[in-house]
Structure 1
Amino acid sequence: MEPRERFVEAVRDGQVEAAARLLEEYESLREGVNEPWFSFDTPAIVAAAASGSRAMVDLLLAHGADINARSGWWAGGFGVLHHDHRELSRYLIERGAEVDPHAAAALGMLDALRAFALEDPGFANRRGPDGQVPLHFATSKAVIDFLLEHGADIDRRDVDHGSTPAQWAANDPEKCGYLVARGAKPDIFMAILLGDEALVDKLLAEDPGRIGARIGEGEFTSGESDGGHIYDYVIGRTFTPLFLAAHRGHSGIAAKLASLSPLGQRFLLACGTADAERAQAMLREHPDLVASLSPGEQGLLADAAWEQRLEAVRLMLAAGFPVDARSQGFTALHRAAMRGNAAMARLLLEHGASLREPNDYGGNALSSCGWGSLHIRDPRGDYAEVTSLLLAAGSPLPDQASGSEPVREVLLRAGVREAD
């Protein structure tokens, strides 16, 4: 492995001693300490701050890292203060990190926000990381009130994910609920997460079609960006209102939604929650139920694989879901490989999952595994084992060994050449 790759791995994994040795040994690493070598064109100091490692931050600063460096992300770069580590952020400010309106909103720094308001009347809608505005970062009612008093657009969408501050806060009932109370536009998923049955009723009365909403479709996409709606990340890909209500334990809302939902949606709920008895009862009465589902609905198989719901995947395969059904450009095997889930990959291979089928980015299951070992890095995953399973099943060999060190070792033993 090249020194730069070893350095990136050490910083990413919080290996301070290893990173220190590399910086001492290689002048090229010291000279490139501010280069965007990490994911999303991120320099080392921002990656270290994102991980919350003060020791790594101190090491990098000692070797010339720019405390005010930002990532080169197209939608808006991230700096060291744009991550949810309050104590570290305050330490970084002491070390010289410059506070912008987004960091001030996140840290509750009202005096700093007052200064920004005097300097720039439009500060409350200034774009920052991901194209978010300060209201996306606000963590207190006092800050929210201040921003709204100074002209913040309560429903301003970020650039990368096309999502409002209230949608970003969907898993924070206090902030989300307060934004709705202050006039933020609610949606059906938000109402369910808030457990607000009256709001659910109101939204469905306005538009009964909302019961068929799906994350990743329609208004719940990122628009012109391919970043995906924020609900992809804070809720889950392609959730429906019914499935979300059941998944989050809002039984009253779930019962109401079920009474209004078509058979296919109730069947998908049974499959997604691994309710074999209910799913099989529906299939006995409607043997063609799986075939009647749309390709997007059949993609629930891939979604369940991503969410590592093994029994749900087992039930859907037994029910006749196509093993290579896709969701957002990925099959279940792509998704299992990206998470390093060996049990899931084994089950899918036993049912004939394709080893060659490309995802929407052109990679097959093996390359998806290598990518996941570097970028997803699921702590429960065994990427080397998944790599071995895919090779044993007959996966085509890549031109070069890539992925995490354990993955590369498996590939090298299989005769794949080391990357240049």
Structure 2
Amino acid sequence: TRAPGLVEVARLLLDAGADPVGRTRGPRADWTPLRCAVAGAANPDIVRLLLDRGAVPDDHDLYLAGFGDDDRESLRLLLGRATDVSETTALSAPISSGDIEAVRMLLDAGANPNQPMPADLLGTGHGTGATWPAAYAAVQFGCDAELLDLLLARGADPNAAGPDDRSPYRVAISQGRADLAVVLRRHGARDDATAAERFLSACLRRDQAGARQLIAEDPGLVDRLTEDERGAIELAAERGDTEAVRLMVDLGFPLDARRGDHGSTALHAAAYSGSAETVRLLLARGADIEARDSTWDSTPLEWAKVGSGLRPQTSPDPDWAATVRILLDAGASTESFELSPDDLKPASAEVADILRAAGVGG
């Protein structure tokens, strides 16, 4: 609602001699007015004004515009003024968010789909200097088959491995994404999946017969799974796939297995995604209701609270109110957090009411 007034303020300042390309000092050093205009709540009218007054977009501006909430208008404006985007790393933004149209816009403007993308721009924990190839990143972020097909059709290497030395095909198989595996093979990817990855694929696809057949052929298979491979149960829980979780528990996957950068359990993932029935199953099988992740030191109940506000779309039928009630009824502690009006990740109104009734302050 303030956008039109902000545009006029910017125009008045520029008319009075304000520098359209001046850079900030202090904690956010080296930010320009243009970067501020595209980051977060983008204001394409200010972007247009700054470009008309001499601002020139750089690679990080394109990257931030790739997350824009303005129907990609700021990205469109920046690409119209950018001189050469062949080496841009901005593809990492729409790839990580699954925005196929923004990916298409960057590719149409000349972005190289084989330009390595810094892991820190993708929000991963692989360390400074690590890079991800485009197809590998798309699969890791659970992209739609259409987005992956677009990248590969434009020349992305289907076999380029990530920092863990796994190919996109191996990642797709280990995530149970047969649709992505088909796309990769159609574009020339090698079938290099390991026996463990094929086993994970069977589990995540709820293929009980296939999973048990692989164990029969290799009885020590489950015991040899790596920590990250055991954490595939968290992926199933995040998807709200109760039957896949049931199969994996029956086959010996540990309930306290942790996956990814946050050090969370399957119960954390199910709670965050509002997968009430999966939460119920995990608790019935003995999951630790007070387990804490290694990033925020938070319990599954806290993850459910945050999920209710952010509303991730990983589960097909999320119900955060039911999830929170199940956790509370099972004895989840409410002592470790409160409801604050300044919370950057607040609970939904319905969940906040449930938590207040259970004694959570704030």
Assess same fold via TM > 0.5.
yes
1:309 CA displacement: 2.4
Q: 1:264 to 1:77 in 2, by over 3 A?
A: farther
Counterpart of 1:253? 184
Match of 1:336 in 2: 270
Corresponding residue number in structure 2 for 1:125: 58
- Supply the AA of the counterpart residue of 1:366: L
Residue of structure 1 in register with 2:22 after alignment: none
Q: Does the 8 Å contact 1:298/1:321 carry over to 2? A: yes
Q: Deviation of residue 381 (structure 1)?
A: 3.0
Change (3 A) 1:245 1:274: closer
Where 1:363 maps in the other structure, the secondary structure is coil
Instruction: Check 1:252–1:346 CA distance in 2 against 1; reply closer, same or farther (3 A cut).
Output: same
Letter in 2 for 1:99: D
> Which whole-Å CA distance do the structure 2 matches of 1:320 and 1:310 have between them?
16
2:166 maps to 212
**Which residue of the partner structure matches residue 362 of structure 1?**
297
Change (3 A) 1:245 1:398: closer
Query: What is the CA–CA distance in structure 1 between the aligned matches of 2:251 and 2:301, rounded to whole Å?
Result: 27
Shift of 1:334: 0.9
- Asked whether the 8 Å contact 1:126–1:134 carries over to 2, the reply is no
Letter in 2 for 1:194: D
TM-superposition CA deviations, 1:20-64 (whole Å, max 9, x none) = xxxxxxxxxxxxxxxxxxxxxxxxxxxxxxxxxxxxx4xxx6xx9
Q: What is the deviation of 1:355?
A: 1.0
- Note the 1:113-152 alignment, pairs <5 A: 115-116=52-53, 119-120=54-55, 123-125=56-58, 127-128=60-61, 132=63, 146-148=80-82, 150-152=83-85
Match of 1:315 in 2: 247
User: What's the counterpart of residue 389 of structure 1?
Assistant: 326
Alignment match of 1:406 (pick from 342, 350, 354): 350
8 Å contact 1:305–1:344 — kept in the other structure? Answer: yes
In 2: Cα distance, 1:370 partner to 1:169 partner: 25
Tell me how far apart the structure 1 counterparts of residues 76 and 214 of structure 2 sit (CA, whole Å): 51
Partners of 2:154 and 2:63 in 1: how far apart? Answer: 30
Give 1:250 deviation, angstroms. 5.3
Give the secondary structure class of the aligned counterpart of 1:388. helix
Cα offset for 1:362?
Answer: 1.1
Q: CA shift at 1:303, angstroms?
A: 1.7
> 1:180 and 1:346, CA in 2 relative to 1: closer, same or farther beyond 3 A?
farther
Is the contact between residue 280 and residue 326 of structure 2 (CA under 8 Å) also seen in structure 1? yes
Question: Are the equivalent residues in 2 in contact too, given 1:166–1:180 (CA < 8 A)?
Answer: no
2:230 match: 298
In the TM superposition, what whole-angstrom CA distance separates every residue of 1:57-108 from its partner, at most 9, and x where no partner exists? 4xxx6xx996569xxx97965779956xxxxxxxxxxxxx66244xx5xxxx
How does the TM-score come out when normalised to structure 2? Answer: 0.64
1:323 positional shift: 1.1
**1:325 aligned to 2:260?**
no
Offset of 1:351 from its aligned partner?
1.3
> Which secondary structure state, in structure 2, belongs to the residue aligned with residue 356 of structure 1?
coil
5 Å matches for 1:216-227?
Answer: none
Percent identical residues: 22
Q: CA deviation at 1:288?
A: 2.2
| 8 Å Cα contact 2:86/2:112 also seen in 1 | no
Distance in 2, matches of 1:399 and 1:208, equals: 38
Question: Structure 1 residue 382: deviation in Å?
Answer: 2.6
Cα distance change on mapping 1:67 and 1:253 into 2, 3 Å = same
Comparing 279-288 with 308-317, greater Cα deviation is found at 308-317
CA-based RMSD of the aligned residues comes to 4.5
Please name the residue that 1:26 is paired with: none
SS of residue matched to 2:191: helix
* Residue identity opposite 2:182 in structure 1: S
Partner residue of 1:266? 198
User: Any unmatched runs of 5+ in structure 1?
Assistant: 1-56, 84-96, 105-111, 216-238
Q: C-alpha separation between the residues in 2 aligned to 1:298 and 1:315?
A: 13
Deviation of the 1:154 alpha carbon: 3.5
3-state SS of 1:212 partner: coil
Q: 1:98 to 1:365 in 2, by over 3 A?
A: closer
- Supply the distance in 2 between the matched residues of 1:388 and 1:307 (Cα, whole angstroms): 20
Letter in 2 for 1:330: S
Q: 1:194 Cα shift?
A: 1.9
For residues 367 and 141 of structure 1, what CA distance do their matches in structure 2 show? 35
CA distance in 2, matches of 1:411, 1:81: 30
- CA separation of 1:277 and 1:258: change in aligned 2, threshold 3 A: farther
1:243 touches 1:269 (CA, 8 Å); kept in 2? yes
Give CA-to-partner distance per residue, 1:331-372, whole Å, 9 cap, x none: 111111112221010011111111111112011111222222
Aligned-partner residue type, residue 351 of structure 2: V
For 2:325 and 2:66, the matched residues in 1 are separated by 47
Distance change >3 Å, CA 141–CA 247, structure 1 → 2: farther
Structure-2 change in CA distance of 1:183 and 1:139 (3 Å): farther
Structure 2 equivalent of residue 187 of structure 1: 134
Contact between 2:273 and 2:304, CA under 8 Å: does it hold in 1?
yes
Q: Offset at 1:145?
A: 6.7
